[in-house]
Amino acid sequence: MKSVKDWNYVTSIGNRVDIECDGRHVLHIFILEDDLVRVLLKKDKGLRLDRTWCIAPEGDDGDWYGRDRLSTKGFSLPDYNIEIDGNRLRIMTDLLRLTVERPLRLDWEYKNDMGEWVTLASDRKNSAYMLGVKDDAVSHFMSRSLEDRYYGLGEKTGNLNRANKRYQMCNMDSMGYDAERTDPLYKHIPFYITQVNKVSYGIFYDNLATCWLDMGNELDNYHGYYRSYRAEDGDLDYYMIYGPTVLDVTKRYTRLTGRTALGPKWSLGFSGSTMHYTDANNAQEQLLQFVKLCRQHGIPCDSFQLSSGYTSINDKRYVFNWNYSKVPDPEKLAADFHQEGMRLAANIKPCLLQDHPRFAEVKEKGLFVKDSESNEPELSQFWDDEGSHLDFTNPETISWWMSNVTEQLLQKGIDSTWNDNNEFEIWDSNARCAGFGNEVPIKLIRPLQTLLMMRASFEAQMKYSEDTRPYLISRSGCAGMHRYAQTWSGDNSTSWKTLRYNIKMGLGMSLSGIYNLGHDVGGFSGERPEPELFARWVQNGIMHPRFTIHSWNDDGTVNEPWMYPEITPIVREAMTLRYRLMPYIYNVLWQAHDAYEPMLRPTFLDHEHDSRTFEECDDFLLGQDLLVASVVEKGQRYRDVYLPDNRDGWYDFHRHEWYGGGQTVTLPAPLEELPLLARAGSVIPTSSRIDYVDSSLDDQRQLLVFPFKGVGQRKITIFDDDGESFSYRQGDCLHVIIDLKCDNHSIELNISKSGSWSPAYQGFVLQLPMGERRPLFVNGIRYEAGGEFLLAEVS
């Protein structure tokens, strides 16, 4: 590695400033928004990869072959000023000021409310930028403060604050990982947020090569305190995002990398899954028995995920190959599930074992990633054999994949694709990918193969049913994966520690733009969960966007809602709460899609003024209004919860007792109850339908009104539609607008609507907290409260 030191200003072209470095490299600075600046250092004035697939500022995926790396399409490109003063160059927007110093380093300032420039971030004073001499490695070093907090980096284990740790980005099948310590995992998201001195900024490195981010673990006496980004290959290309809040940074980053997919409403329902059923010789019978047991035990369910056993030959798995001895009639299987209101998702994998019945066909077509030293398909370890990975940078591979998704799954009645084992663990780092006509080594684009696999599955589903919103699941991925898929935290292990740290892992993903996520409830690998752990895991799981019980227990048992008769009523009650809250959860998904709002939120995200919310804890918010205090310790029957200081307080969701914010309270946590609080000044929509999602049968809607205790006002909008089509794009949806006003003497709701969609419910049943005695005015009509139910029509 060699430091980049000297530089000279060359020119400004539109919103790009060009600087020559050491007489051989070029530094591009792109002024994209007032709060967003991009830095691209081109070694020897060239690019290792001249396209990107992670950036989608207009929510448009663009062409399959990627976005021109130098494109500024989709950005507002604001006015800026540039000043050159000897050894210093300054670039200023209305919010940011960037100073280029010698030797090459960048200093960043933001403009505060007084109009003063204040230091935001700085590169290390020496050797801030380093480039490989005999290889294509790149490095970037920045100064750090001991007070810095670092958040994000996608799917990572351990605490939410990443300070003083070192992380690797290298997609890996990490079955049975330690949720506190294992690294790396399944996803590649080199984006993190720095929070210090009440301001925040984010940095996203747009590079798909394996990399390491050191957040203060490393010390070097010559350089003071610093952090670093090191990549084994690729381009040094990063985006600086100014907040000033953590929430601002997350939303701006998500706008940069694309809009969260709005899946069908049923994708938020309970989804059953286990390796056991599809591995069984009588898989079709086992699967239908699951449906019967759901009905027998009163368990609401919307879908089931077929693990890969349905594709098996003996003990191995072969994508797009139905085992008709296990599943004699896939069409009837799907029809039987549909009759009960349940959908099916089928597991698919991007690697064909070398004895796959169609291996020779795919090899002949040239659809595999190729070995680095021959024209043969690469061979990598995959499950219990070696196999070759499909190359999704080849348009013919994309067509082959989409045809098989259609013919082998969708035409047989399968509703969704479960894109699994898609880490592309190809350790021949120079294995050759087609690169859409410009061959590229796998080490430069390994996570891209996963992203394109998702897109191919997504577009196959779109093409098959053009007015039905696709739903797909992916375990692995990179920045931009949220445009296509819901995800989960992979093959976790069964323990109380996993339950606790999966919460933090999910929040880290959410801060990194991956909003629609969950975890394998009960744990995937290891011993089966004991009854108490299983009950607590279900209670936590119902408050995540993805709610799936999935397992491959070492003792051959199956994690099922009814696995322990003594706690089945507790599991059923938790699932009942999930379905009661379905309108609220669906609205939270809509906010993620429409307004880039995170679904799962650390408590500091909405309460940065309260320094205590930055302390590590096990609490989180679902949307802005429900504070979840999952029990993650064995034997715990009371739960201490710190209530963020929101000035309005919080209500115990179950008992309706009000608490002021900014204090720690102790809530009852009997085994049958999830401690849950609602923000004062919120209106929570709920449903009476405790069954599979069907908007035509959802004919009752409640509004749980948690009023301000004194004076307060808030405007709330609730979205609803048919839950499946794209008709909302043409206004065929429902926006319920609620103006809530409270004073010491009354509670006032003004309810109106917009949109042309007519739901099965014709009005709302309103409920106030028990003990609330102020009269309620709904659109000017007075109701005496007393905690009673009150019917209000929508005007």
Which two three-digit tokens encode residue 37? 């600046």
Domain membership of residue 512 (yes or no) is no
Domain membership of residue 663 (yes or no) is yes
Give yes or no: residues 644 and 616 share one domain.
yes
Q: What span, in angstroms and rounded, lies between the C-alpha atoms of 309 and 552?
A: 12
CATH for 24: 2.60.40.1760
Give yes or no: residues 639 and 692 share one domain.
no
Domain membership of residue 289 (yes or no) is no
Q: Is 540's pLDDT higher than 60?
A: yes
Provide the pLDDT for residue 794.
55
Q: Which backbone phi and psi does 704 adopt, to 5 degrees?
A: -85, 110
Q: Which backbone phi and psi does 560 adopt, to 5 degrees?
A: -135, 155
The tens digit of pLDDT for each residue in 24-64 reads 999 999 999 999 999 999 999 999 999 999 999 977 788 99
Q: What is the arithmetic mean of pLDDT over 305-332?
A: 97
Q: Is the dihedral of CA 514, 517, 519, 524 positive or negative?
A: negative
Per the structure, the complete domain to which residue 781 belongs is given by: 682-793
CA–centroid distance for 432 within its chain: 30
Helix, strand counts (H, E) of the chain: 11, 57
Q: What span, in angstroms and rounded, lies between the C-alpha atoms of 451 and 51?
A: 14
The tens digit of pLDDT for each residue in 664-723 reads 999 999 999 999 999 999 999 999 999 999 999 999 999 999 999 999 999 999 999 999
Provide the pLDDT for residue 785.
65
Provide the pLDDT for residue 787.
55
Integer CA distances (angstroms), 206 to 50, 53, 188, 192, in order: 12, 9, 11, 12
- For residue 707, what are the contacts with CB-CB under 8 A and spacing of at least 6? 680, 681, 740, 742, 747, 768, 769, 772, 774
CATH for 754: 2.60.40.1180
Looking at the chain, the whole-number percentage of residues with pLDDT higher than 90 is 96
Give yes or no: residues 42 and 160 share one domain.
yes
Provide the pLDDT for residue 384.
84
Provide the pLDDT for residue 567.
98
Q: What is the arithmetic mean of pLDDT over 276-292?
A: 96
Provide the pLDDT for residue 66.
97
Domain membership of residue 404 (yes or no) is no
Cβ atoms of 158 and 151 within 8 Å: the answer is no
Domain membership of residue 366 (yes or no) is no
Which two three-digit tokens encode residue 185? 């995992």
Does residue 555 or residue 282 have the better pLDDT?
282
Give yes or no: residues 668 and 778 share one domain.
no
Size (the chain), residues? 795
The 3-state DSSP class for residue 767 equals strand
The tens digit of pLDDT for each residue in 544-588 reads 999 999 999 888 899 999 999 999 999 999 999 999 999 999 999
Domain membership of residue 191 (yes or no) is yes
Band of residue 790 on the pLDDT scale cut at 50, 70, 90: low
Report the Cα–Cα distance between both ends of the chain, in Å, rounded: 68
Q: What span, in angstroms and rounded, lies between the C-alpha atoms of 16 and 38?
A: 9
Give yes or no: residues 674 and 695 share one domain.
no
Q: What span, in angstroms and rounded, lies between the C-alpha atoms of 499 and 633?
A: 9
Give yes or no: residues 623 and 756 share one domain.
no
Give yes or no: residues 734 and 771 share one domain.
yes
The tens digit of pLDDT for each residue in 109-134 reads 999 999 999 999 999 999 999 999 99
Give yes or no: residues 694 and 667 share one domain.
no
The tens digit of pLDDT for each residue in 470-495 reads 999 999 999 999 999 999 999 999 99
Provide the pLDDT for residue 61.
86
Give yes or no: residues 702 and 767 share one domain.
yes
The tens digit of pLDDT for each residue in 180-197 reads 999 999 999 999 999 998
Provide the pLDDT for residue 249.
98
The tens digit of pLDDT for each residue in 81-110 reads 999 988 899 999 999 999 999 999 999 999
Q: Is 290's pLDDT higher than 90?
A: yes
Provide the pLDDT for residue 62.
87
Cβ atoms of 778 and 784 within 8 Å: the answer is no
Domain membership of residue 31 (yes or no) is yes
Band of residue 795 on the pLDDT scale cut at 50, 70, 90: very low
Boundary of a domain, candidates 679, 704, 728: 679
Which H or E run contains 34? none
Boundary of a domain, candidates 201, 227, 257: 257
The tens digit of pLDDT for each residue in 350-406 reads 999 999 999 999 999 999 999 999 999 999 999 889 999 999 999 999 999 999 999
**DSSP string for residues in 528-578:** PPPHHHHHHHHHHHTTSSEEEE--EETTS----TTSSTTTHHHHHHHHHHH
Give yes or no: residues 154 and 127 share one domain.
yes
Give yes or no: residues 184 and 155 share one domain.
yes
Band of residue 348 on the pLDDT scale cut at 50, 70, 90: very high
Q: What is the arithmetic mean of pLDDT over 207-213?
A: 98
Give yes or no: residues 769 and 643 share one domain.
no
Boundary of a domain, candidates 214, 230, 257: 257
Closest to 380 in 3D by CA, of 287, 449, 296, 281: 449
Provide the pLDDT for residue 60.
78
Which two three-digit tokens encode residue 303? 């879908």
Provide the pLDDT for residue 305.
97
Q: Is the dihedral of CA 143, 146, 149, 152 positive or negative?
A: positive
The tens digit of pLDDT for each residue in 212-269 reads 999 999 999 999 999 999 999 999 999 999 999 999 999 999 999 999 999 999 999 9
pTM of the entire predicted model: 0.97
Q: What span, in angstroms and rounded, lies between the C-alpha atoms of 424 and 433?
A: 12
Q: What span, in angstroms and rounded, lies between the C-alpha atoms of 70 and 761?
A: 51
Cβ atoms of 441 and 415 within 8 Å: the answer is no
Provide the pLDDT for residue 789.
60
- For residue 629, what are the contacts with CB-CB under 8 A and spacing of at least 6? 618, 619, 639, 641, 667, 669, 674, 675, 676, 677
Which H or E run contains 359? helix 359-365
Provide the pLDDT for residue 86.
80
* Total number of domains in the chain: 3
The tens digit of pLDDT for each residue in 424-471 reads 999 999 999 999 999 999 999 999 999 999 999 999 999 999 999 999
Domain membership of residue 662 (yes or no) is yes
